[in-house]
Structure 1
Amino acid sequence: MAAPLFRFFGKASRQLTQPWASWRPFVRHFSTPAAGFPPLQTYTEEEAMMKETVKKFAQERITPFVSKMDENSMMEPEVIRSLFEQGLMGLEISTEYGGTGSSFFSSILVIEELAKVDPSISVLCDIQNTLINTLIIKLGTKEQKEKYLPRLATDMVGSFCLSEVGSGSDAFSLRTRAEKRGDQYVINGSKMWISSAEYAGVFLVMANADLSAGYRGITCFIVDRDTEGLHIGKKENKLGLRASSTCALTFDNVTVSEKNILGKVGQGYKYAIGMLNEGRIGIAAQMLGLAQGCFDHTIPYTKQRVQFGKPIFNFQGMQHQISHCVRDADQISHGMQHQISHVVGCSIRSLMGMQHQISHGMQHQISHVVSGDAASDLSWGCSIRSLMGMQHQISHGDAASDLSWGCSIRSLMGMQHQISHGDAASDLSCCGMQHQISHVATQLEAARLLTYNAARLREAGRPFIKEACMAKYFSSEVATLTTSKCIEWMGGVGFTKDYPIEKYYRDCKIVIE
């Protein structure tokens, strides 16, 4: 087998050394079929229509309540009603039960669009569609479906109960137990951090029906809100997602029929794992929408906010990058002082080598700011070569301690101020700011592709766990980056409630968890 392979690669390598005309047909033969594939990000006509409809709905029906709901830590009843009226709480429930009869991918699009306006609303919609409805659709008996799906599609919120005080990340070490008594089960225990608990009408509760079996005893029970012994605790006063209620639940001899078991006894841990994998795609959509909403609110402001006589869209990016250089210099100076003070026999050369690496990082960043031909000679009176020469002296000369350790941010900012007022300031600073904006925009698009890919795989019934984890991780990273950058770009007002940026920033911290 090896000989034919070597002959094939040998022939291919010889072809590469020949004129283009001799091997162009070979390339065309392999590249032509790919032309028939659609772009990575495409929507069906129905999906595009739903995306646009939800976008308009969110802007018109949710936006007016966002600040009030965040301030009061309370979901507006009118908003919940409107979600049901639009069919957004029963997206995958079939029309037979009063649902929309849509797809999983459509649910992800809806979650994303809602998160652009208010992540708290997207949490409510996400849990309802990717956890509650999906579990009952997949595992429910005919009677359970007939009883709960019509209401979940039209007027009843559901809540998923897994986490406990001592079992958050290690969810399957839960202590809530369900003791079998005849044809009934008696549930005792407590749950923490239960989303939507304040207004939920039904709870899917994970409890252990066989303690001796460990996590293999975990079973899913359907518990109605009005069941005796179920107590909903005080709402948490959270940093973010304040409109989304998060409460503790206590089960004091809560008695349910064995008909309330969802799926099979002892299979709850499998159901939870499966649903949480799908939930990761929902969280990715939340983070994606949150980041996009924050970004969309910020960019217009950067074109309006004027500093030093020009919009910050055209100015402040370079200052930000220079400050990163200052930060790096400060970090290395403190690091070197620490090592010199505490490490016996430390080699000065190794320390200078480390400083040299940082200084070259600064050089790269400065070159990146000015870009292109400007790196050789800045027409506005400050030669990059002279800056690099100074950097070379700093990293290699005897004055390293004075220059790098005593580096003043004001002096660098003063240098930047001179740079910014030169002839080429407009073009160069514009590159700096627009580079940051384009970087964030690219990250957002990459997160969207990862999220959509995971959703498409799940919808197609193909393995998607890896892709779901990647989507959640990357979208969370992008949301953190985006909200942090937007706060910086907005300046002081970014931290005030006059603009929604600080809310996106707070909400991001909660959704990640």
Structure 2
Amino acid sequence: MSSSQAESISKSAAARQSLTELSEDELLLQSSVRRFAAEVVAPQVRAMDEAQQFAPGLVAQLAELGLMGIEVPEELGGAGGSFFEAILAVEALSAVDASVGLVVDIQNTLCVNSFRRWGTDAQRRQWLPKLAGGMICSYALSEAGSGSDAFAMETRAVRTNAGYRLRGRKLWISNAREAGVFLVFANLNPEAGYRGITAFLVEAGTPGLAIGRKEDKLGIRASSTCEVILEDCEIPATNLFGEEGKGYKIAIEVLNEGRIGIGAQMLGLAQGAWNHAARYAQQRKQFGKAIAEFQAVQFSLAEMATEIEAARLMVYNAARRKDAGLAFVTEAAMTKYFVSQVAERVASQCVEIFGGNGYVRDYPAEKYFRDAKIGKIYEGTSNMQLMTIAKQLLSHPVSLQER
């Protein structure tokens, strides 16, 4: 047996360990985040949703718990954890508020991972301690004309004597209002098409960078979603992120990991909706008994729980594969596609179990329903996931069972 075959078998064995049996460290993290979500986040969920912003000091508290830099090495101020631990944190927070889950998700699966994989040593030393300490990083890729077709961007970069000048408009940028640094994608060589796309770091407050219109959204309202405007924004050469012309590669590879994060967010949301539905069904009485005693409600709760368990296995499997160094692109796309559907179905059924109370804001069901819809849209729509899945399966002769 060759060394490469032995390594592959070792990785496969690591990935095949019990998906839902957590290590001591993973259990401790999960327990801590669940307690924080219940005691700190839950009492503020409704107010944050109505105010469309995070409660003052909440992000700092997330950082104190180590959740803003889970995979940041300890020597750089982070928790020194794993990707799987980041997924557990996103899931636990999203069970209470998907907006809070989102800020931890983007920070870790998109931004921290980008710095760890593509940043220079100097950039990692400069920025990772700040991110772990609570500075929010915003991922500025999408534009009005380049959503699913992400590489049709019109934002341009030109070289200057001191570095680069950026000009363009980004749209639907999560957490832009709170961000301290932006990872901006712009085309440095439009003649080369997507191969001209390059990534840059732009610090908040840089002249020429402005935060534009804040979207008034259906769900995840506490997390800001804004336009980011670049008007002859000058940055130094040291703010080049990765190599020139490799921005498309950074975006693709990091978003593959980000899809698992969105799966975790939607998984947590579905679990939270189920928890509320089950409690309400046991408390709500009709015809002289709790509605949980009616078989129709029991069947509904059972179906919801079964789908949630299937979704959890998919999320955990994709995350375990990523940590084990195994191929995970297909699994990540399948996870994003399936779990977002589960979240929408479970949240909808939660509203129905609450009945009329599920349709009013005095109860939590309607917020879970509103928050769930975005799961099928951002970081790659459901149709984009299906395209990825089909392409992966049809272009590789190795079946999923043989992976």
TM-score using structure 1 length: 0.70
Q: Is 1:435 equivalent to 2:299 in the alignment? A: yes
Q: Which residue of 2 aligns with 1:236?
A: 215
Structure 2 letter corresponding to 1:501? A
Structure 1 alignment gaps of length 5 or more:
1-33, 316-429
Q: Which residue of 1 aligns with 2:116?
A: 137
Q: Is 1:246 equivalent to 2:225 in the alignment? A: yes
Q: CA deviation at 1:40?
A: 3.7
CA deviations over 1:96-131 (Å, ceiling 9, x no partner):
110000000000000000000100001100000011
Q: Is 1:119 equivalent to 2:98 in the alignment? A: yes
CA deviations over 1:408-456 (Å, ceiling 9, x no partner):
xxxxxxxxxxxxxxxxxxxxxx2x3222211110110000000000000
Q: Is 1:89 equivalent to 2:68 in the alignment? A: yes
Q: Pairwise CA RMSD of aligned residues?
A: 1.2
Q: Which residue of 1 aligns with 2:281?
A: 302
Q: Which residue of 2 aligns with 1:158?
A: 137
2:342 alignment partner, one of 453, 465, 478: 478
Q: Is 1:190 equivalent to 2:169 in the alignment? A: yes
Q: Is 1:102 equivalent to 2:81 in the alignment? A: yes
Secondary structure in 1 matching 2:71: coil
Q: Which residue of 2 aligns with 1:461?
A: 325
Structure 2 letter corresponding to 1:188? R
Structure 1 letter corresponding to 2:304? V
Q: CA deviation at 1:512?
A: 2.5
Q: Distance in 2 between matches of 1:155 and 1:114?
A: 16
Q: Which residue of 2 aligns with 1:492?
A: 356
Q: CA deviation at 1:139?
A: 1.1
TM-score using structure 2 length: 0.88
Secondary structure in 1 matching 2:234: strand
Q: CA deviation at 1:137?
A: 1.0
Q: Is 1:263 equivalent to 2:263 in the alignment? A: no
CA deviations over 1:257-312 (Å, ceiling 9, x no partner):
12111110000001100011000000000000000001101111111212222222
Q: Which residue of 2 aligns with 1:451?
A: 315
Q: Which residue of 2 aligns with 1:289?
A: 268
Q: CA deviation at 1:142?
A: 1.4
Structure 2 letter corresponding to 1:497? R
Q: Distance in 1 between matches of 2:201 and 2:348?
A: 41
Structure 2 letter corresponding to 1:275? V
Runs of 4+ in 1 over 3 A off after TM superposition: 37-40
Q: Is 1:509 equivalent to 2:373 in the alignment? A: yes
Q: CA deviation at 1:38?
A: 5.1
Q: Is 1:77 equivalent to 2:67 in the alignment? A: no
Q: Distance in 2 between matches of 1:511 and 1:71?
A: 21
CA deviations over 1:433-482 (Å, ceiling 9, x no partner):
22221111011000000000000000111100000011111111110110
Structure 2 letter corresponding to 1:509? K
Structure 2 alignment gaps of length 5 or more:
1-12, 378-403
Q: Distance in 1 between matches of 2:134 and 2:315?
A: 29
Secondary structure in 1 matching 2:210: strand
Structure 2 letter corresponding to 1:121? V
Calculate percent identity across the aligned residue pairs. 49
CA deviations over 1:205-240 (Å, ceiling 9, x no partner):
000000110110000000000110001012111110
Does the Cα contact within 8 Å between 2:51 and 2:222 map onto a contact in 1?
A: yes
Q: Distance in 1 between matches of 2:180 and 2:124?
A: 15
Secondary structure in 1 matching 2:250: helix
Does the Cα contact within 8 Å between 2:19 and 2:320 map onto a contact in 1?
A: no
Does the Cα contact within 8 Å between 2:197 and 2:245 map onto a contact in 1?
A: yes
Structure 2 CA distance for partners of 1:158 and 1:38, relative to 1, 3 Å: closer
